[in-house]
Amino acid sequence: KRSTVHNEVPGISKKASLSSAAFKQISLDLLHLSYANQIHVYMDGSFLGGSTGAFVIPSRSITVKFKTAHVTTSTGSELAALPAAVEFVTQESSSIWAIFCDSKGALQCVRSLRRGNYHQMVHCINEICHRAADQGHDIVLQWLPGHCGISGNHLADDAARCAHDGAPTQLIPLSRVDAARELRHIAHNATLAHWNSPPNSNQRPKNLKSLLQKQLPSKISRRDATMLCRLWTGVAFTESFSHRIGMADSSMCESCNCIETIEYFLFHCAQFDEDRRTLQCALNRLDDRSFNEAKILGAWSRSTSAQKATRALLRYLSATSLKDRL
């Protein structure tokens, strides 16, 4: 048996359309007219770096608060408080209960029949509510606007905030949102560790200084600007790089059967020999340095030379059709 969920309060359409005093009066009328005979349970969650949940039963001077075993969202924190409240109900003698929550999102999750981001938590809530109903309890879940002067809401809010300091820990299901957050956190830490490892940290000042010296030609397309930045930072989509990140089946050049890197298609791939000679002639007219990677992709002392060199590189990439995939 699913518990009844009311996600609206009669007389309240948009929160911005009424004053706090009006919210309070309408909410108090609802409590008096519709829930005078139920035992009132107020629940709340808090997300302040960590996640907590709490519920209070003012008529019995009962407050229960806890921290979740892993960080979750604000909606997840609200949902975590609900099974804790219903689990407490199952330990009491059968009665009629009204559980009030100020999160419409959490109640919408409970009411929805679709498998959403919190379906494991919702399944846990429905299971406990079903068990409570089998024991003779009648439970209604009702939304109430928060921060409008309802004392029970304030007590639950204060308890959830206080739970960040020294409250017991409670396990909750790992939702898809929580899992994605954990994966982003792991990836971020791994990226920082790699970025700060000696081989990379030693090269970083040199690489950053070199990048800051480079200039994009005026009036080039965003696509060309992105491609140049990928070449300058060494992450252009060569076959070698694409294979390393799982976007290509092989790291080999299709025509030469050699590993295709940035250096390879700039200097060694035989199918681009004619276009490469054109690029070399264009760069040799700018200065007498050797034709190497530093000359093609590096910084130039004069801004006009840098503009001409970069445009010559763009012509080379266009003539060879490399710009279509880099």
Residues 98 and 41 sit within 8 Å (Cβ to Cβ) = yes
pLDDT, average across residues 123-146: 93
pLDDT for residue 258: 86
Rounded mean pLDDT of 78-89?
95
Return the percentage of the chain with pLDDT > 90, whole number: 45
| Neighbouring-strand partners of residue 44 | 54
* C-alpha to C-alpha distance for 50 and 203, rounded to whole angstroms: 37
| Predicted structure pTM score | 0.64
Q: How far apart are CA 123 and CA 23, in angstroms?
A: 32
pLDDT at 203 over 60: no
pLDDT score recorded for residue 200: 61
Please say whether the beta carbons of 82 and 41 come within 8 A.
Answer: no
* AA identity, residue 154: H
Q: For residue range 298-326, list pLDDT tens digits in order.
A: 777 788 888 888 898 889 999 988 888 87
The full set of domains in the chain, from first to last, is 4-174 (3.30.420.10), 204-324 (no CATH)
Cβ atoms 293, 261 nearer than 8 A: no
Nearest to 82 by CA among 105, 58, 115, 48: 105
Query: For residues 25 and 209, which has the higher predicted lDDT (pLDDT)?
Result: 25
Distances in whole angstroms, Cα of residue 128 to Cα of each of 13, 39, 63, 125:
31, 18, 20, 5
Lowest mean per-residue pLDDT among 35-39, 131-135, 252-256? 252-256
Residue 97, strand partner residues: 39, 139
Residue 212's pLDDT band (cuts 50, 70, 90) = low
Cα gap 95→133, rounded to integer Å? 10
Residues ≥6 apart with Cβ < 8 Å to 29 = 11
From 66, 75, 63, 3, select the one nearest 38 (Cα to Cα). Answer: 3
On whether the CB atoms of residues 49 and 150 are closer than 8 A, the answer is no
Alpha carbons 204 and 326: distance in angstroms, whole number: 23
Residue 1: per-residue pLDDT = 62
Vertex 138: Cα angle to 2 and 140 (nearest 5): 65
- The full DSSP string for 227-261 is HHHHHHHT----HHHHHHTTS-S--B-TTT-SB--
267-302 confidence digits (pLDDT tens)? 888 888 899 999 889 989 988 888 888 888 877 778
Which of 60-74, 76-90, 168-182, 221-235 has the weakest average pLDDT? 221-235
Q: Please, which residues have CB within 8 angstroms of residue 158's CB and are 6 or more apart in sequence?
A: none
For residue 326, count CB atoms less than 10 angstroms from its CB and return exposed for 0-12, middle for 13-18, buried for 19 or more: buried
Q: 191: pLDDT confidence band, cut at 50, 70 and 90?
A: confident
Output the average pLDDT for the chain.
87
